[in-house]
Every structure is written in structure tokens, then in C-alpha cells.
Chains A and B, each alone.
Chain A
Amino acid sequence: GDSVTQMEGPVTLSEEAFLTINCTYTATGYPSLFWYVQYPGEGLQLLLKATKADDKGSNKGFEATYRKETTSFHLEKGSVQVSDSAVYFCALIIQGAQKLVFGQGTRLTINP
């Protein structure tokens, strides 16, 4: 079946550090890939997406590239801020399907 695996958390970094959160997927069809973010007390929000191989999604300084050859969609940011502290979820949806398939989430804490 379809599945998403994220790196284990929690992750703690200092402000201005470089961030990578790894995400790999297994899909029976041709997926679109997403990163969702959940800030404390809020719902999951779409952070970025990529719909085909080699696409790069970007938003708020975060980037992720759809790598079909390695079935990966790693999230990166060059310089994190305290306000980036949140839980990050990698997800996929198969073309024509209705449900998002999520990874387990990675809690990120940024210290000043």
C-alpha cells in the first residue's frame, strides 16, 4: 500500500541553523507530495507541494524537491527561526484519490 516515512523526531536546533527533515514514500500510483505544518493549537496547514518528478515546492523559505529516483521529498530551510517551531508532516495523495496519506510527523523546536 501507499505509505510515507519521516525521520524520527523530535528535532531541536538553534536559530539560524540549517534544517533538513527527511521524507520517503512508497506509492502504487503516481503521487503528488506535500508538506503540512501544525503550529501549536492550530490545524494542519499546507506548507508546500510538488505534483511531478523534479518539481520543487517552496514557501516561507522552506523547499522540497520531488525525487522520483529516490522516492524522496526532503524538507529544507537554510536558516530557521524560533517561529518555525511546529510539527511537520510529509504526505502524499495518489492521482484521482481522495485521501491524504501522512507520515508520523516531526516535532521541530528552534531555540533562540
Chain B
Amino acid sequence: EPEVTQTPSHQVTQMGQEVILRCVPISNHLYFYWYRQILGQKVEFLVSFYNNEISEKSEIFDDQFSVERPDGSNFTLKIRSTKLEDSAMYFCASSEALGTGEQYFGPGTRLTVT
């Protein structure tokens, strides 16, 4: 069964450093998403991406965040200058259609900022 993959599974970085989290969505999906979950809190939407541009973003997704689909398979989330409060589990998801809620999630990348 097709699945969403994410790398790395765990990333440790120092405050102020740039990190890139990588995702390979399901191949025939057109819509891509990033969510995050800070320890003990809810899973929160960050951004959705379609047709090579951001289609919706949350208040959390400020100028230090960016997303890119550099080739036909990868979907990346970049955090330019990490802060302690960016420590969280980051989930990538993809879907065939928009608005159905049927999104396929990767296993997540745990980001620890020290």
C-alpha cells in the first residue's frame, strides 16, 4: 500500500540553525500539508500546498517557515532560524482531493531544538 515517508525521523539542532524536513507524498496525490504537534498539545495545521504554491497557511506559519516541492517527489519544510519553541513532531500529509479530510500522514519527524 502506498505511504507517505518522512526523513529524518529525529533531528536535533541548535537554536538559530536552519533545518529542512523532508517528505515523499503518495505519488498520485496533488495536495500536500504540514502539521505539527508540540509535546502534550494538539496536532496543528501549518500549511497546505497545491500546484506549486501555498494554498492556505496558519498563523504559526510565519516568515521563518517555507515549503517547497523541489522535484516531482519531495516536499520539504524549511525553518530558517530555529527557536526552542519549534521543538515538536512535524507531520507531512497528502491527499488526492481537497476538502474531504481524507489525508494520508507520514510517521513524523521529531525536531528537538537545543
- What 0/1 readout, one digit per residue, does chain B (55-90) give for beta carbons within 8 Å of chain A? 110100000000000000000000000000000000
Chain B residues 10 to 53 lying within 8 A of chain A, measured CB to CB, are: 31, 33, 35, 40-45, 48
Question: Chain A nearest CB: distance from B92 CB in Å?
Answer: 8
Interface size on A (CB < 8 Å)? 26
Whether A61 sits at the interface, judged by CB under 8 Å, is no
- What 0/1 readout, one digit per residue, does chain B (95-110) give for beta carbons within 8 Å of chain A? 0001111111111100
Interface contact B101-A43, CB-CB below 8 Å: no
Interface contact B103-A100, CB-CB below 8 Å: yes
Residues of A within 8 A of B106 (CB): 43
Whether B113 sits at the interface, judged by CB under 8 Å, is no
- What 0/1 readout, one digit per residue, does chain A (86-112) give for beta carbons within 8 Å of chain B? 000101110111111111110000000
Whether A71 sits at the interface, judged by CB under 8 Å, is no
Contact for B45 among A49, A100, A103, CB less than 8 A: A100
Interface size on B (CB < 8 Å)? 29
Contact for A43 among B40, B45, B56, B105, CB less than 8 A: B105
Interface contact A43-B91, CB-CB below 8 Å: yes
Interface contact A95-B3, CB-CB below 8 Å: no
Residues of A within 8 A of B107 (CB): 41-43
How far does the alpha carbon of A99 sit from the alpha carbon of B107 in the complex, in Å? Answer: 18
Residues of B within 8 A of A82 (CB): none
Which of A32, A34, A93, A100 is the most central at the interface, judged by chain B CB atoms within 10 Å of its CB?
A: A100
Residues of A within 8 A of B105 (CB): 36, 43-45
Where the two chains meet, the residues of B that have a C-beta atom closer than 8 Å to any C-beta of A are 3-4, 6, 31, 33, 35, 40-45, 48, 55-56, 58, 91, 93, 98-108
Extra contacts, 6 of them, besides A43-B105, A102-B44 (Cβ < 8 A), are A44-B91, A49-B102, A93-B99, A98-B48, A100-B101, A103-B42
A-B contact pairs, 25 of them (CB 8 A): A32-B100, A34-B101, A41-B107, A44-B93, A44-B105, A45-B105, A46-B103, A46-B104, A49-B101, A49-B102, A89-B43, A97-B56, A98-B31, A98-B56, A98-B98, A98-B99, A99-B48, A99-B56, A100-B45, A100-B101, A101-B45, A102-B42, A104-B41, A104-B42, A105-B43
